[in-house]
Chains A and B, each alone.
Chain A
Amino acid sequence: MAIPALRRYARALTRDADVADDLVQDTLVRALRSQHLFHGGELRSWLYTILINLNRNRLRTLARRPPLTVIGENDAPDMSGPEAGGRDIERALASLVEEQRTALLLVVLEGLSYRQVAEVQGVPIGTVMSRLARARVQIKAYLDSERPVLRRVK
């Protein structure tokens, strides 16, 4: 079923449960109302495409009023407990540029093939691969720079 996967993807993309579900709802409304525009291909890829477009619009709107993009409670540093690892990867993902995060999560979390991601993002496969590569380098650099801090806390 597509909806749980869309929720998961939106959550990873936005890091905010409410924003993510709003995004999924808008995606579904839009998909339903424009189903006549769906010209075959894969329904799942199409849904991801819509979701990504809506998220890009959302980020644009946020960018226009920067003072409102306050850092949420979810970002509060919490270096203890089993959640610490999850927060690490969350912050590492947040440090990526949008297209890289979008591509990496489609491959790693949603299991889309490179070809499908290329279709969703409307770019050649080579571009998808370089986005993936850059995302992985950035995440590794982020985590490597975080680790010493974590050790000191222990």
Chain B
Amino acid sequence: MKNNDLPVTEEELHAFVDGELPADRREAVEAWLAAHPEDAGRVGAWRAQSEAIRARYHDVAAQPVPARLKLDRMSYAARSWKIMAAAAVVAAFLVGGLAGWMARGIAAVAPGEFEMLTAQALDAHKLYVVEVRHPVEVPAAEADHLAQWLSKRVGYPMRAPNLERLGLNLVGGRLLPTKTGAAAAFFMYENASGDRFTLYCARAKMPNTAMHYNAADKASAVYWVDGNVAYVVSGAAERKQLWKVARAAYEQIEPRAAQPERGS
């Protein structure tokens, strides 16, 4: 009966109330509670809380489900969404030497313009990620059209990177104005749990830079400039995860062919 000799922890008291306590500790906890009235009082209070919560909301589950929440009603919407989910896959385009590229250091960039772009991207992120029904203008099902349309409007070839490797599926994209009146391409991705990431791309007359990280309120961003285009990846994720997404996006973005400094 070695198990019964171990002192009872606070966690075990909660596990006892929630039915999560291993069977071989139940006896020990019961003995402990008999000898410690204060703990017994707390356990009693927690049980009463649980009972009150269940009593309060028990009825809701017993009520008939309203028509708008019936699945057959939603199947139409589901079918069209499913088509959209079969998003066209962009050919993987791996760029070598990312580490070397990132090690080039920070180029002399006018901080004002860069900060402005990042702020715009974050604003767009926060505005659209909360949208349930209209997060994008063009859904991922029309990926080809999306690429053509955005490329035409932003003035350079632009295709949504494929981030499925990270469990992120393209939701779609939209066109956004920048503060300077130019057009920006905006793509949204989401994972199985509904966490959303966005990629904002806008023309910027700036030299190439390394990746930067900017932790802002509620959403953070990783941004860089490559071939006169500024890219901003935003998400509510922690830094490491955001880096991964940004790297994957970078690897998928075709280097600008008309890059003067890249040569040929």
State the A residues within 8 Å of B (CB): 3-5, 7-8, 11-12, 20-21, 24-26, 28-30, 32-39, 46, 49-50, 53-54, 57-58, 60-61, 85-86, 88-90, 92-93, 104-105, 107-109, 113-114, 122, 129, 132-133, 136, 139-140, 143
Chain A min CB distance to B22 (Å): 12
B150 at interface by CB-CB < 8 Å: no
Among A25, A89, A104, A114, max chain B CB count under 10 A is at A89
Q: Is the CB–CB distance between B192 and A33 below 8 Å?
A: no
Q: Which of B74-82, B101-109, B197-205, B222-230 contacts A (4 or more CB under 8 A)?
A: B74-82
In the bound complex, residues from chain B placing their C-beta under 8 Å from that of A46 are 192-193
- Residues from chain A with a CB closer than 8 A to the CB of B18 are 107-108, 114, 132
Q: For B50, give the chain A residue with the smallest CB separation.
A: A108
Complex CA gap A151/B205 in Å reads 71
- Once A21-B68, A28-B69 are accepted as A-B contacts, the answer to whether A34 and B60 lie under 8 Å apart by CB is no
How far does the Cβ of A70 sit from chain B's closest Cβ, in whole Å?
20
A32-B77, A108-B54 as given contacts; A37 in contact with B191, CB under 8 Å: yes
A51 to chain B, nearest CB (A): 9
Contact residues in B for A140 (Cβ distance below 8 Å): 42, 45-46, 49
Per the bound structure, the CA–CA distance linking A90 and B66 in Å amounts to 23
Q: Mark B33-67, 1 if CB is under 8 A from A, else 0.
A: 00000000010011001101111111011110110
Q: Bound state CA distance, A57 and B194, in angstroms?
A: 10
B81 lies within 8 A of A7 (CB): no
Most A CB contacts (10 A, CB to CB) among B71, B84, B194 go to B194
Cβ B167 vs Cβ A37 within 8 A: yes
Interface flag for B257 (CB, 8 Å): no
Rounded to whole angstroms, the CA-CA distance of A93 and B50 in the bound complex is 11
> Given A8-B61, A34-B85, A136-B46, does the pair A85, B132 have CB atoms closer than 8 Å?
no
Instruction: Decide: A25 and B68 in contact? CB cutoff 8 A.
Output: yes
Question: By the criterion CB–CB under 8 Å, are A33 and B78 in contact?
Answer: yes
Instruction: Using A7-B65, A108-B49 as known contacts, list a sample of 11 further A-B pairs with CB atoms less than 8 Å apart, ordered by residue number in A.
Output: A4-B60, A8-B58, A25-B68, A29-B78, A32-B78, A61-B130, A89-B53, A109-B53, A122-B193, A129-B14, A140-B46
**Interchain CB contact (< 8 A) of B130 among A12, A49, A57:** A57
Given A34-B190, A46-B192, A129-B14, A93 and B77 contact (CB-CB distance below 8 Å): no
Closest to A132 in B: B14
Which of A11, A26, A122 has the largest count of B CB atoms less than 10 A from its CB?
A: A11
A139 & B49 in contact (Cβ 8 Å cutoff): yes
Q: Which B residues form the contact surface with A (CB < 8 A)?
A: 10-11, 14-15, 18, 20, 42, 45-46, 49-50, 52-58, 60-63, 65-66, 68-71, 74-75, 77-78, 81-82, 84-85, 129-130, 132-133, 167, 169, 190-195, 218
- A28 — which chain B residues lie within 8 A by C-beta? 69, 71, 74
B15 / chain A contacts, CB cutoff of 8 Å: 114
B14 touches A90 (CB 8 A): no
Interface of B is mostly: helix
Contacts of A107 in B (CB 8 A): 18
User: In angstroms, how far is the closest chain A Cβ from the Cβ of B75?
Assistant: 8
Residues of A within 8 A of B70 (CB): 3
Known contacts A37-B169, A109-B53; is-contact A30 B194 (Cβ 8 Å): yes
A33 touches B57 (CB 8 A): no
Given A32-B74, A32-B81, A57-B129; A136-B49 close (CB under 8 Å): yes
A12 engages B85 (CB within 8 Å):
no
A106 nearest CB across to chain B (Å): 11
